[in-house]
Amino acid sequence: ATVRAPAQGIQERTIRWGHLNNPGHPTSLGVRKVAEVLLAKSGGKLRIREFPASQLGNEMQQQSALRGGTQEMFSASTTSLATVVKDFGLLDFPFIVGSSAQAEALITGPFGKAMLETLPEKDLIGLGYWGLGFRNVTNSRTAITKLEEFAGLKLRVIPNPVYLDTFRALGANPVPMNFGEVYTALETKTIDGQENPYSVILSNKFFEVQKFLSATNHTYTQNIITIGKKFWDQLSADERKLIQDSVNESRDYQREVTLKADTESLGELKAKGMQFNEIAPAEMARIRTATRPVAAKFSADLDQAKVRLFNAELERVQKL
């Protein structure tokens, strides 16, 4: 490969931005917003072309495409980055934040920033995070109101050890499965349920095949916006600034649509006939206690400096 000198000024470029969500999902709305802002800022020169719904491949493929320089941008949950930088797994620990404000404070604070700094050595640049919302459990068997009701539920989880252990600790049977197969598996009752943010449950029509929706709020999922370092290195300082600014400026809009989608999605899921329930605080406390060993077990394997920073930050944000 030829090493190109950094470009001057702003050139005409098309940036392919892939993600896994369907059109209409807050992620997609966010991408379109960034595209709109960037197009205006660059005088029509920097165009973002959105490829939603895994059109460019699964998470692993798009991530390695960014690192290899064959795709420019990608956004997906930080969970998928844990295969690249293990410490991202900290964000998947169960019940670490109690509100989206706390989640926001954690990810925009020193810990979130420190995690972005781990990416360049993996050929990625992190431009920021978008909150995706709390994950909640749906299933076809029972309304989950207490710890014991997790027992024996076959729940699809992200193929990730933290999620597997969390639900094992709750007494459920976690089934790792690729997202693309979940609808059919739910429909055919191969599995009893799954866990995702409300907006994902709605846009993938899981309400058609699931009866119960319980506000477990077990994890807050953050999407991370990444751009390939190989591509980034070809950009001029001006171009980089325009892209970073567009992402930053779209943040408030994206947060708004996420919150709105979260509330509206829940309302619509209820309207579509899902039986929704919250879990009493005392029961939530029992559930939280049951999953406590998970964090301890996985922390041991991670970078201890990151773990300390993470714990200090948790103490700070949990007071919010």
Contact residues toward another protein (CB under 8 A) are 16, 51, 55-58, 60-61, 64-65, 67-70, 82-84, 86, 122-123, 152, 154, 158-161, 164, 173, 175-178, 180-181, 183-185, 187-190
For CA atoms 64, 65, 71, 75, give the dihedral sign. negative
Q: Closest approach of Cβ 79 to another protein, in Å?
A: 9
Q: Report in angstroms the alpha-carbon separations of 94 from 154, 167, 200, 286.
A: 18, 10, 19, 13
Q: Give exposure, 74-111, as e/b (b: 16+ Cβ within 10 Å).
A: bbbbbbbbbebbebbbbbbbbbbbbebebbbbbbeeeb
Burial class (CB in 10 A: 0-12, 13-18, 19+), 228: buried
**Rounded-to-integer distance, Cα 82 and Cα 39, Å:** 32
Q: CB–CB of 98/158 below 8 Å?
A: no
For residue 141, the 8-state DSSP code is: S
Cβ-based nearer residue to another protein, 106 or 164 = 164
Cβ-based nearer residue to another protein, 200 or 257 = 200
Q: Closest approach of Cβ 37 to another protein, in Å?
A: 23
Q: CB–CB of 58/2 below 8 Å?
A: no
Place of tokens 């997906």: 76
Cα three-residue angle 195-199-202, rounded to 5 degrees: 85
CA-wise closest residue to 264 among 4, 7, 25: 25
**Rounded-to-integer distance, Cα 153 and Cα 49, Å:** 41
For residue 99, the 8-state DSSP code is: S
Q: Closest approach of Cβ 111 to another protein, in Å?
A: 21
Q: Closest approach of Cβ 191 to another protein, in Å?
A: 9
Cβ-based nearer residue to another protein, 98 or 161 = 161
Q: Closest approach of Cβ 300 to another protein, in Å?
A: 14
Q: Closest approach of Cβ 187 to another protein, in Å?
A: 7
Structure tokens at 96: 């670490």
Cβ-based nearer residue to another protein, 185 or 266 = 185
**Rounded-to-integer distance, Cα 43 and Cα 46, Å:** 8
Cβ-based nearer residue to another protein, 158 or 213 = 158
Cβ-based nearer residue to another protein, 37 or 182 = 182
Cβ-based nearer residue to another protein, 109 or 161 = 161
Q: Closest approach of Cβ 162 to another protein, in Å?
A: 9
Cβ-based nearer residue to another protein, 165 or 262 = 165
Q: Closest approach of Cβ 89 to another protein, in Å?
A: 10
